């Protein structure tokens, strides 16, 4: 990056980080409100089989130090959160943050891996279609990609599970023992493959990149590049490739996270999605809050990346 571009980039970075902080605060309030207003009480899990209105419940609350009012509850959580303490899981009693970090790595592997796979498939198809128009080959590839993207990810997941695990018995579906099995690496690759192909990102990525790239290739300045005998891709790269790819990546991260929840269920993948699913069923408030914040931060990170790339690349954006 040129020295001149660092100043605008750092300015954008500072602003975006500020927005991120505000946004995370907003997310925590909204999620808290939803949880608070939703029926059900997390303590029911601990008091299974007993009347929730009994003396026992009240005593339990006091023993756990849960404030009575909603704002008291939120303030207590918020205060601890600022110190990096997201509380303990009501179900397991384990601290939320280390648990999140443990499963977060799995989810990150799953989503980033699938994003990389999507790019790996989408980019050649889109670039070929933009450069050569609709040939038989790339039209067929695009069509297949569109059909796969339209397939529900859970259904595709079950088909894969059925074929590879039940029919061929290639690898087990239990995370803990997987590493010791013969095809253990498949256990890691298959969910990534399923999410990368069927999350719906593939078709959007092909379409966006193809459209943007072919628009840019028709620009006057590309004709100038050709007229002066320069390499066209060097001139088209920034506007026709870098910007649309980061745009679509950042726009698709929320969908990937949503897809991850499902894929993790199907493949018994020990990630955040499965943890969220479990926590939602248990009304495990601290865990849900923690996951919501981490997911929101992840989404914002994608946007941040896109803004930074756009500012670094686009001279007009850097001189506002």
Partner 1 sequence: MDAPLLAIENLRTYFYSRAKRAFIRSVDGVSLGVARGETLGIVGESGSGKSVTALSAAGLVSAGPGVISGRIDLYSNGARRNLLDGLENYARITERDGRVMEVEKDERGWRKRSETLMAGVRGKEIAMIFQNPRSALNPYSTIGKQLVETIRLHTSLKGESEAKERAIHWLERVRIDSPRLRFDNFPFGMSGGMCQRAMIAMALSAEPSLLIADEPTTGLDVTIQSRIVDLLAQLKTETGITTLLISHDISVIQRLSDRIAVMYGGTVVETGRTAEVLAPEARVRHPYTTALLASIPSAETIRRKSYLQAIEGEVLDTIEVPRGCRFYGRCNRVTEAIRENCAGLEPPLGEVAPGHKVRCWLYPATGKA
Closer to partner 1 by Cβ: residue 92 or 139:
139
84 binds partner 1, rule: CB under 8 A: no
> Of 23-31, 202-210, 249-257, 311-319, which part binds partner 1 (CB under 8 A)?
311-319
Closer to partner 1 by Cβ: residue 126 or 257:
126
Q: Which two tokens stand for residue 164?
A: 């590879």
Q: SS3 for 242-257, per residue?
A: HHHHHHHHHHHHHHHH
Q: How far is the CB of 228 from partner 1 (least distance, A)?
A: 4
Closer to partner 1 by Cβ: residue 77 or 241:
241
DSSP conformation class of 86: -
Give the dihedral of Cα atoms 261, 274, 253, 294; nearest 10 deg: 150
User: What string marks each residue from 109 to 138 as x (binds partner 1 by CB under 8 A) or -?
Assistant: -----------------------xx-----
Q: How far is the CB of 39 from partner 1 (least distance, A)?
A: 55
Q: How far is the CB of 135 from partner 1 (least distance, A)?
A: 8
Closer to partner 1 by Cβ: residue 65 or 229:
229
Query: Under rule CB under 8 A, which residues in 196-225 are in contact with partner 1?
Result: 219-221, 223-225
Helix (H, G, I), strand (E, B) or coil at 88: strand
In angstroms, rounded to a whole number, what is the distance separating the alpha carbons of residues 45 and 22?
A: 33
Residue 147 Cα to chain centre, angstroms? 22
Helix (H, G, I), strand (E, B) or coil at 186: helix
Question: In this structure, what are the phi and psi dihedrals at residue 95, rounded to the nearest 5 degrees?
Answer: -65, 140
Closer to partner 1 by Cβ: residue 239 or 264:
239
Cβ proximity of 41 and 283 under 8 Å: yes
Query: Under rule CB under 8 A, which residues in 220-249 are in contact with partner 1?
Result: 220-221, 223-230, 235, 238-239
Which residue, among 295, 284, 291, 306, has the nearest Cα to 35 in the 3D structure? 284
Q: How far is the CB of 227 from partner 1 (least distance, A)?
A: 4
Binding site for partner 1 (CB under 8 A): 4, 132-133, 219-221, 223-230, 235, 238-239, 313-316, 319
């Amino acid at each position: 990056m040129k020295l001149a571009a660092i100043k605008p980039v750092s300015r954008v970075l500072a602003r975006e980080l500020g927005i991120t902080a505000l946004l995370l605060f907003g997310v925590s309030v909204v999620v808290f409100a939803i949880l608070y207003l939703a029926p059900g009480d997390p303590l029911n899990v601990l008091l299974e089989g007993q009347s929730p209105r009994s003396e026992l419940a009240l005593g339990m609350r006091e023993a756990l130090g849960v404030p009575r009012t909603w704002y008291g509850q939120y303030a207590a959580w918020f205060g601890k959160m600022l110190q990096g303490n997201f509380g303990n899981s009501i179900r397991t009693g384990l601290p939320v943050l280390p648990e999140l970090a443990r499963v977060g790595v799995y989810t990150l592997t799953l989503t980033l891996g699938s994003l990389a796979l999507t790019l790996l498939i989408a980019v050649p198809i889109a670039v070929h279609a933009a450069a050569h128009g609709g040939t038989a080959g790339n039209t067929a590839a695009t069509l297949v990609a569109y059909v796969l993207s339209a397939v529900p990810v859970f259904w595709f997941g079950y088909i894969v599970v059925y074929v590879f695990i039940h029919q061929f018995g290639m690898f087990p579906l239990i995370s803990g023992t997987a590493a010791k099995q013969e095809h253990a690496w498949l256990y890691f690759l298959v969910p990534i493959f399923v999410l990368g192909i069927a999350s719906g990102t593939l078709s959007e990525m092909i379409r966006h990149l193809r459209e943007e790239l072919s628009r840019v290739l028709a620009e006057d300045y590309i004709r100038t590049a050709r007229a002066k005998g320069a390499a066209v891709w060097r001139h088209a790269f920034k506007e026709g490739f870098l910007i649309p790819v980061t745009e679509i990546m950042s726009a698709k991260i929320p969908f990937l996270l949503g897809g991850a929840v499902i894929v993790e269920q199907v493949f018994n993948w020990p990630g955040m999605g499965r943890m969220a699913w479990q926590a939602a069923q248990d009304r495990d408030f601290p865990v849900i809050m923690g996951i919501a914040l981490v997911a929101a931060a992840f989404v914002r990170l994608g946007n941040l990346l896109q803004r930074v790339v756009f500012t670094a690349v686009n001279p007009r954006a850097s001189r506002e």
